[in-house]
A and B are shown apart, each in its own frame.
Chain A
Amino acid sequence: MSLFEPFQLPFMARALVELVILGVLAGTVGVLVLLRRLAFVSDTLTHTVFPGVVIGYLMAGQDGVFWGALAAGAVTAVLLTVLAHRRRVSEDAALAMVLTSLFAIGVVLVSQRTAFTSDLTQFLFGRILTVTQEQLVQTAVVTVLVAALLAVLRRPLMLRTFDPEGAAAAGIRVGLLDLVMNVAVALVVVAAVQAVGTILVIALLIVPAAAARALSDRLVFIVPLACLIGALGGWLGLAASYEASVYHGLRLASGGTVVLVLVVLYGVAALAGAVRRRVGLSRARLGTPELEMTR
């Protein structure tokens, strides 16, 4: 498999840059999503951002997609924060119903159009190979913004994630922090929507972070590892789908291939993590047995 040659083509190069930036963005935010157990937030967002994308597209064409997604994402982030502070959102049947309805509204709206199937596919699974210069800039700006935000807030975020009551007791505005967190997740979904679609972005958020967590117990390593794995998945996935389409007559969708590569990377990381833990454990046992007992 050729890992570099495909990217001499301008559209492939743009796709690669987009996926590498997204990998870094989603990897960083994904670690927080993983630690806060917020998978349902990204889940919710993918359902609500979809109708936003459709409405944006119907109103302003391709340019409307980003802004439609942004509006829907922002509203969702605020609503989720408010709901979570009232009661448990994650296990709420009513919420599930609202989400599916919103999703259905998106589908109904798209079905008005003649190019129904191709549009639907685009919104759900993205179109990585037609990424434009402008989209790259958008993604890069979002990434810089979110990374700066998380860097500034890293201490309150860490304290709030580890010990919510302790954070509140220390005077941290937990509600505000949760809103920021939900907005960050929304921004990832929005940034990724045109490239990988609303469905696959969940994998981009969850899988690299989980893989990095399996490899390390230390946050200073987990975050860069997650970024690296996210970017690596994008690169290998693109190369694989190009190889299959051009040389083997197999049309592999790029977005889907990227996700599958990420899952394979996770498998490798989980295995490596299990080995690491076992080695660490036997080392600890050999090391200072009597000390372990008395303490």
Chain B
Amino acid sequence: MTQQQDRTAALVLEQASVAYGHVPVLEELHGTVRSGEAVALIGPNGAGKSTLIKAILGLVPTVRGRIEVLGVTPAQARRDVAYVPQADTLDPDFPVSVEQVVMMGRYRKIGWLRRPSAADRALAAEALERVGLSDRAKNRFGTLSGGQRQRVLLARAIAAQPRLLLLDEPFNGVDAVSQHALLEAIALLKQQGAAVVVSTHDLAIAHLACDEVCLLNRHQFGFGPTDEVLTPERLRATYGGHALELRGDRVIVTQT
């Protein structure tokens, strides 16, 4: 690998195998995501998409090979990596306002004791603006719709000014308005030079927003430019013993 590529590679997988304890989940992953590019993780339930994202965060160990994030190990890179969880995994009763959630994205920079500065507040407000929810800043997080909550979580990640953004199925159960807002915000982040990893079941989104695709089902079934990798044959291989139809841009898996 040349010096030049090294500098712009945000995420490098090198024959990486990932395991929970003794249970191997992902084996032999290989690929590179550069700054300003987005990669879609696509695969059936239980394929290991969430596990890969956790490995990139350094929360699940890489047992063989190497995962390099922004030129260092995943744990060392955390300061510049932001993670967007699925909104419906969070407690909707939690007494926290939308702007407080977004401010959480600044916690790493603010520290434990200091009050948020005017700059922190401006960044949080701007992040909320980017997902189109400025007018909901004072509302309680749980009173928003699922799609809006997902946008707030993206705003929190944007406020952290990440160089690598990880999103775990952000489009699940999200309506068209919210999906559009999410895609716009992600596109802007890419423009500003951030790399993006997003797991999704939606091939249309992979085509629309991602430069590369990683097909996963415990192994890698393809990693490369979207048009080359998203072929019916490869998808069929990834989704295993199930008959697979491609209608438009949807994967339809029919149980055999």
The chain A residues found within 8 Å of chain B, CB to CB, are 35, 152-156, 158-159, 161-163, 165-166, 168-171, 213, 216-219, 222, 295
Q: Which residue of B lies closest to A212 (CB)?
A: B95
Interface size, B (range): 20 to 34
> Which of B57, B85, B95, B107 has a CB less than 8 Å from the CB of A222?
B95
Of the A-B pairs whose beta carbons lie under 8 Å apart in the complex, a sample of 5, sorted by A's number, is A152-B113, A162-B101, A169-B57, A169-B78, A171-B79
- Indicate if the CB atoms of A163 and B90 lie closer than 8 Å: yes
B174 within 8 A of A: no
> Which of B57, B81, B95, B113 has a CB less than 8 Å from the CB of A213?
B95
> Which of A35, A170, A213 has a CB less than 8 Å from the CB of B108?
A170
Which residues of B are found within 8 Å of A169, using beta-carbon distances? 57, 59, 78, 81, 83, 166
Evaluate whether A219 and B96 lie within 8 angstroms (CB atoms) in the complex, with A162-B91, A295-B148 already known: yes
**What are the interface flags for B61-96 relative to A under an 8 Å C-beta threshold, 1 for contact and 0 otherwise?**
000000000000001001101010100011100111
- Indicate if the CB atoms of A162 and B83 lie closer than 8 Å: no
The chain B residues found within 8 Å of chain A, CB to CB, are 57, 59, 75, 78-79, 81, 83, 85, 89-91, 94-97, 101, 104, 107-108, 110, 112-113, 136, 140, 145, 148, 166, 177
Which residues of B are found within 8 Å of A155, using beta-carbon distances? 104, 107, 110, 112
> Which of A156, A162, A216 has a CB less than 8 Å from the CB of B96?
A162
Which residues of A are found within 8 Å of B177, using beta-carbon distances? 295
Q: Closest CB of chain A to B113's CB: distance in Å?
A: 7
User: Known contacts A155-B107, A171-B78, A219-B95; can you find 16 more A-B pairs with CB under 8 A?
Assistant: A35-B95, A152-B112, A154-B112, A156-B107, A158-B96, A158-B104, A162-B94, A165-B83, A165-B85, A166-B85, A166-B104, A169-B57, A169-B166, A170-B108, A216-B95, A219-B96
- Indicate if the CB atoms of B57 and A168 lie closer than 8 Å: yes
Which residues of B are found within 8 Å of A154, using beta-carbon distances? 112
- Indicate if the CB atoms of B78 and A170 lie closer than 8 Å: yes
In Å, the complex CA distance between A143 and B94 comes to 25
- Indicate if the CB atoms of A166 and B94 lie closer than 8 Å: no
Q: Which residue of A lies closest to B83 (CB)?
A: A169
Interface of B is mostly: mixed
In Å, the complex CA distance between A55 and B104 comes to 45
In Å, the complex CA distance between A245 and B91 comes to 46
Which residues of B are found within 8 Å of A216, using beta-carbon distances? 95
In Å, the complex CA distance between A241 and B159 comes to 54
- Indicate if the CB atoms of A217 and B107 lie closer than 8 Å: no
In Å, the complex CA distance between A163 and B91 comes to 8
In Å, the complex CA distance between A169 and B82 comes to 8
- Indicate if the CB atoms of A159 and B94 lie closer than 8 Å: no
Which residues of A are found within 8 Å of B107, using beta-carbon distances? 155-156, 159, 170
Q: Closest CB of chain B to A269's CB: distance in Å?
A: 14
Which residues of A are found within 8 Å of B78, using beta-carbon distances? 169-171
In Å, the complex CA distance between A163 and B101 comes to 10
- Indicate if the CB atoms of B89 and A165 lie closer than 8 Å: yes
Which residues of B are found within 8 Å of A170, using beta-carbon distances? 78, 83, 107-108
In Å, the complex CA distance between A121 and B183 comes to 64
Q: Closest CB of chain A to B20's CB: distance in Å?
A: 13
Which residues of A are found within 8 Å of B59, using beta-carbon distances? 165, 168-169
Which residues of A are found within 8 Å of B97, using beta-carbon distances? 218
Q: Which residue of B lies closest to A174 (CB)?
A: B59
Q: Closest CB of chain A to B53's CB: distance in Å?
A: 9
- Indicate if the CB atoms of B95 and A153 lie closer than 8 Å: no
Q: Which residue of B lies closest to A218 (CB)?
A: B95
Q: Closest CB of chain B to A171's CB: distance in Å?
A: 4
Evaluate whether A35 and B104 lie within 8 angstroms (CB atoms) in the complex, with A166-B83, A171-B78 already known: no
In Å, the complex CA distance between A216 and B140 comes to 11
> Which of B81, B112, B136, B148 has a CB less than 8 Å from the CB of A153?
B112
In Å, the complex CA distance between A213 and B83 comes to 29
> Which of A35, A152, A162 has a CB less than 8 Å from the CB of B90?
A162
Q: Which residue of A lies closest to B50 (CB)?
A: A165
Name the residue among B94, B110, B177 with the largest chain A CB count within 10 angstroms: B94
In Å, the complex CA distance between A163 and B166 comes to 15
Q: Which residue of A lies closest to B75 (CB)?
A: A171
Which residues of A are found within 8 Å of B104, using beta-carbon distances? 155, 158-159, 162-163, 166
